Amino acid sequence: MMFSVGLDHYLILSAILFCIGLVGVITQRNVIKLIMCLEIMLNAVNITLIAFSQYITPTLLTGQIFAIFVMVVAAAEVAVGIAIVFSIYRSRESVDMENFNILKW
């Protein structure tokens, strides 16, 4: 039996990646690692978008275009996020999430 790759496989892959990313975001204490996990979550979503685009609306490129947009936004977000991390690091000399708790009542 020929093993063929279908939509389900992509979605399962995407879900696994998303969960890995989510767990990382929740558990990592290092901000840089946290941002990397965030990127994994975004890419999991990208996979979903492209898979749907390929299997459900093959004539339209909406999902693929959307994935490119997500990448662009992610790049911008990383740039800003790293800049914030740098500036916090300068004042607190730490990249530990536990110290990033000043935005509260």
Residues near other proteins, by CB under 8 A: 22, 25-27, 97-98, 100-105
Q: Give the nearest distance from C-beta 21 to other proteins in angstroms.
A: 11
Dihedral sign of CA atoms 42, 45, 51, 53 in order: negative
Is the Cβ–Cβ distance between 75 and 43 less than 8 Å? Answer: no
Q: DSSP state, 102?
A: -
Q: Give the nearest distance from C-beta 104 to other proteins in angstroms.
A: 3
Q: Give the nearest distance from C-beta 61 to other proteins in angstroms.
A: 28
- C-beta closer to other proteins: residue 8 or 96: 96
Distance, CA of 35 to chain centre: 8
